[in-house]
Every structure is written in structure tokens, then in C-alpha cells.
Amino acid sequence: MPKKYHITAKVTPLNLDYVYKFKIERGENCINCGRCTKVCIYEAHKRGKGDPRKMADPNTVVCRNCFRCIQECPRGALEKSLDKDFLNIGGSYWKSDMFITLWKQAEDGKVPVTGAGYRGPFTGPGFDSMWTDMSEIVRPTRDGIHGREYISTSVELGRKLNHLAFDESGKLLSKIHDTIDIPIPIIFDFPKDNLSPNVKLAIVRAAAELNTCIVLSPDHITADIKKYIKNIIPIISHKEIDRHSALIKTVRMVALDYDEEILSSLPELQDKIKKIHNVLTIVRVPATKSVEQIVSRLAKNGAEIIHVVADYCGMENDGSAGLNRRLAKDIIRAVHLKLVEDRIRDEVTIIFSGGIAMAEHVPKAMLCGADLTAIDLPLLIALGARLYEEPEKLLLFPEGLDKIAVRTVMHRVVNLMGAWHSQLLEVMGAMGIREARRLRGETGRAIFFEEIDNETFGKLFKKRETANV
């Protein structure tokens, strides 16, 4: 049994303002009777510090929406509403609630647990239109979560052989390619936004602490970051290989930005890199309309690892605002199926990124066919960044973040990944799958809305829905 991978969480509050959901206002007809202080078990209501005859303004950050104060105030003087900030943040993909739960996970590293059943829409676009399977009678995979059995979340990056070849005397002819193991199916994708040096260093250190990798442009690799070079994947243009040869000598993987030239010259480029140092090459391909064709050609041309990058909402990246853009779930499935069709799927590693916003997206992306995922924005949301989708993407960092100690920032990122790792274990435990590698492309262990809805209600709903279109 391999050594158990465990992410140790450490409660790390960040003393900065963040989004909260409810706002309680005290009306003028409050008689300062203090009933609310007695009924609220979360201590949202307190008497004034300076003047205890008066009630202080409600501390609504702690409000858990139990309605006790509202319903028991003798004068009906309290009013509650959804906070404006909460309503404005995010957009149609990055839902307001996500910010609060990511922030919370970064603070305590725990799996978000609540009472009462699911509250959201029945289904939604993309990843929201699939469910993962479970096994009623299985080996006790669940025990893995309590530590008696091991659920491995590690994945392998690199090119693999389709089959082994032997000579007549039984000697192995094939050359086995090198691969790199990382313990979670998540790598970090460095956000392009202007980050303060402490945040930059902290995220790199978190990647090192977790034993995963971070994709980083060479300009960002400053002296303090160089210490973690084994966990860094420098991203360069294929024209700059020579210029960065000193850097390539120190790393395990290097990423190349895709352009059309790479389609044909990939074997030479990979050779060239291998001559400098034995590193694996990732080709970073934007998820355009024809992404599956490009990935297929790259794979046939010997690509080791292909990183498919959708936009920040997990949508196809063709520059247009058209409504027909595919979503992550469909992009990954198309890429995966194309490679299966070409009988080359097992030979190449696919990383998917773009719109991986919650822990559930990791196993879902893998079920659709990715080997692993890359994330960027959740790392920043863990640090209090606010994201707005409308009118255009806007990312705001909290004031004072640049002064926070590197350790604190790093711990929050580690906590977030700890919570995600535990959630991945929950999903795998329920499915009875004990190796994350086996999630890849296991669509039989997923339930897709389109299929099951059609099977069950097709006859009932079809007519009306076609009419609506």
C-alpha cells in the first residue's frame, strides 16, 4: 500500500471583509427590549458597547437565517434581506453562494456540511446536468475516508504505451516513457492577473506543500520562487525553447502555448526539449470549436500531455459571444470520445481547465474524460477576491491582502485543496472507486440528465420542448 496522502488543514481566518448573504436592519420602532439577544443563538444581536440601553447594529455576518429574531421581535422592528453585495457578485456561472463556501473551505479546510436536503435547481447547464453514481453494495470503500482502507487520488502525467513489444527471446523492446505522479488530480494554473508578491509566493508554496504543480510564466519565477522549481511548470512559446534552456534543465515539465506550427513540428520540439533535459511537454490548447481535431492530431503526433483550456466559465473559447458555445462537460466528452475513436486515448494525458469552480467539478470533469484538472480562480476566491461576470470579467482583490503573511495565504490555499480532496473522497467512496485514475471517462458511472430525462419523460416533455425551441 502506498503511503497515505493526507492534507492537514489548519484553521486560518483572514481578517478581511468578505461577502455575506443576509442583511438585518433594525427599524426605528425598536424599543431596545433585548428580546433578540435572547433568541439569537448565533449572537447577531447585542446591546450597544458604549450605551447598553440601546441595541447595537446587528452583526449580520454571523446570521444563519433562522428567522427567530424576525418572528419574535415584539414590535416587528427587524427586517432582513439579501445583501446587495451578495446579489451582485459573480454571475450566471459563478454563483454568489460559491464565493461564500470557497471562502469558508479556505478558512477551515472542511467539507461543507449542512442540514436539510438539496436546495438548488433540479438541473442546470454543463456539469450541473449530471450526477455521479453510487454503489448500494460495495467493498467498504467508505472506510477509506475513516482511514482503514486507502483511496488513492493520485494521477499519472505523461505519454503511455499502447502495448508492449517483445523480441523472440522475450526481451522487452518497447521503451517505457517516463511519467510523473501527482497525488491529487488538480494542478494550479497561474492566474494572469496582477498578484502581489506575497500571494504569488504563497500559491507556489501551497503547490509545493501539496506536492502538485503550478503553471507559471518564466517572468514570474523570481529568486524566492525558484526554491520550489520542481513544482513549477514554466509556460513558454515553442520559439523560446533555446532561450529558456537553463530553466528547462531545472524543471520536470514544461508547457508550450499552442499555435498551428506545433501541429506538425511537435515531435521535433519534444525531442529538442528532451535533449536539453528529460522533461515532459504539455501543449496548452484553447478549447475552440475544433479542439477535438487539434487534440487528436497532437496526440497522433506524439504529444505527451495536452492541456485543454476553456474560458473562466468553462465555455468554448472562440472569441465570439455566440450562444452555441459548448460547455466544459461537452468539450471534455468530445475530446475524450475523439481520442477513443482514434484508439489513442490511453496514450496521452488530458488536463482540463476553465470553470472548475467547485470540488464536484473535479470528479465530473474526470468522468467526462479528463485525466486531471487545473484551477485558478478558486485559489484567489479563497483569498477574498471578488469576481464579477457582468458587464465583463472583473476580478477585485481585497484591500490589505498584499500585507498578509505568506504562511497565512499559503495555508488557506492548502485548506481549500484539503476540503476538495476530502470531497473527492466522498464522491469516490460512494461510487466504490478506489483509484482516481479509474474515474477517467467512466461515463457508465455517471447519470446524464439529457439521457435519463429523455428515457423517463421523453414522451411527455418532447413535444412541448420542441415547440419552445
Partner 1 sequence: MKPSTVKIKKMPSRFKHQVPKYKVTRSAACINCGTCAKSCPYGVHERLEGYNKMSVPIDYKCIGFECQKNDFYCVDKCPRNALSISLNPMYQTLGDYRWTADMITGTWIMAETGYPPERKDLEYNTGNSGGGFDKLRLKFPAGQPKIDKFEISTEIPLNRRNDGRANVIISTPVYGGGMSFGSVSLPTMVSKAHCASLWNTFTCTGEGGYPEVLQPYNDHVITQVATGLFGVREETIQRVKIVEFKYAQGAKPGLGGHLLGEKNTESVARMREAVKGTSLFSPFPFHSVYSIEDHKKHIDWIKQMNPNALVSVKVSTPNDVDMVAVGSYYAGAHIIHIDGGYGGTGAAPDIAKKNIAMPIEYAITKVHNFLKDEGARDAVTLIASGGIRTAHDLAKAICLGADGAVIGTAEMVSLECVRCGNCESGRGCARGIASTDSELADLFNASHFELL
Scanning residues 142 to 161, which ones bind partner 1 (CB under 8 A)?
142-143, 146
Give the helix/strand (H/E) hosting 283.
Answer: strand 280-286
Q: Is residue 388 near partner 1 by the rule CB under 8 A?
A: no
Q: How far apart are CA 468 and CA 435, in angstroms?
A: 43
Give the helix/strand (H/E) hosting 282.
Answer: strand 280-286
Q: Is residue 29 near partner 1 by the rule CB under 8 A?
A: yes
Q: How far is the CB of 145 from partner 1 (least distance, A)?
A: 8
Write the DSSP symbol of residue 152: B
> Based on CB atoms, which residue is closest to partner 1, 47 or 445?
445
> Based on CB atoms, which residue is closest to partner 1, 77 or 182?
77
Q: How far are the Cα atoms of 16, 105, 231, 376, 437 from residue 384, in angstroms, in the given order?
A: 8, 12, 25, 14, 32
Scanning residues 335 to 374, which ones bind partner 1 (CB under 8 A)?
358-360, 364
Q: How far is the CB of 443 from partner 1 (least distance, A)?
A: 11
**Phi/psi of residue 49, each to 5°?**
-70, -45
Name the residue among 13, 156, 105 with its Cα closest to residue 379: 105
Q: How far is the CB of 453 from partner 1 (least distance, A)?
A: 8
Q: Which range of residues in 111-119, 244-252, 294-302, 314-322 is near partner 1 by CB under 8 A? A: 111-119
Which of 43, 136, 167, 260 is the binder for partner 1 (CB under 8 A)? Answer: 136
- The residue behind cell 475516508 is 145
Which of 13, 48, 52, 76 is the binder for partner 1 (CB under 8 A)? Answer: 76
> Based on CB atoms, which residue is closest to partner 1, 119 or 192?
119
Q: Taking CB under 8 A as the rule, which mask of x and - marks residues 52-71 in contact with partner 1?
A: ------------xxxxx-xx
> Based on CB atoms, which residue is closest to partner 1, 166 or 461?
461
Query: Diameter of the chain by CA atoms?
Result: 95
> Based on CB atoms, which residue is closest to partner 1, 396 or 447?
447
Q: How far is the CB of 154 from partner 1 (least distance, A)?
A: 20
The grid coordinates listed for 3 are 503511503
Q: How far is the CB of 428 from partner 1 (least distance, A)?
A: 10
Scanning residues 439 to 458, which ones bind partner 1 (CB under 8 A)?
444-445, 447, 452-453, 455-457
Q: How far is the CB of 141 from partner 1 (least distance, A)?
A: 8
Q: How far apart are CA 136 and CA 215, in angstroms?
A: 40
Q: Is residue 95 near partner 1 by the rule CB under 8 A?
A: no
Q: Is residue 13 near partner 1 by the rule CB under 8 A?
A: no
Which of 50, 121, 147, 391 is the binder for partner 1 (CB under 8 A)? Answer: 121
Cis? peptide before 185, omega within 30° of 0: no
The grid coordinates listed for 295 are 487534440
Q: How far is the CB of 88 from partner 1 (least distance, A)?
A: 14
Q: How far is the CB of 358 from partner 1 (least distance, A)?
A: 8
> Based on CB atoms, which residue is closest to partner 1, 149 or 342?
149
**Phi/psi of residue 56, each to 5°?**
-80, 165
437-458 burial by CB neighbour count: b if 16+ within 10 A, else e? eebbbbeebbebbeeebeeeee
Q: How far apart are CA 141 and CA 153, in angstroms?
A: 13
- The residue behind cell 459571444 is 321
Scanning residues 209 to 268, which ones bind partner 1 (CB under 8 A)?
none
Q: How far is the CB of 290 from partner 1 (least distance, A)?
A: 31
Name the residue among 98, 106, 132 with its Cα closest to residue 11: 106
Q: How far apart are CA 151 and CA 425, in angstroms?
A: 7
Q: Is residue 9 near partner 1 by the rule CB under 8 A?
A: no
Q: Is residue 459 near partner 1 by the rule CB under 8 A?
A: no
44-72 burial by CB neighbour count: b if 16+ within 10 A, else e? bbbeeeeeeeebeebebeebeeeebbbee
Q: Is residue 429 near partner 1 by the rule CB under 8 A?
A: yes
Q: Which range of residues in 280-288, 335-343, 409-417, 424-432 is near partner 1 by CB under 8 A? A: 424-432
Q: How far is the CB of 430 from partner 1 (least distance, A)?
A: 3
Q: Is residue 375 near partner 1 by the rule CB under 8 A?
A: no
Q: Is residue 118 near partner 1 by the rule CB under 8 A?
A: yes
> Based on CB atoms, which residue is closest to partner 1, 114 or 324?
114
> N- to C-terminal Cα distance for the chain?
54
Q: Is residue 434 near partner 1 by the rule CB under 8 A?
A: no
Q: Is residue 74 near partner 1 by the rule CB under 8 A?
A: yes
Name the residue among 253, 206, 244 with its Cα closest to residue 228: 206
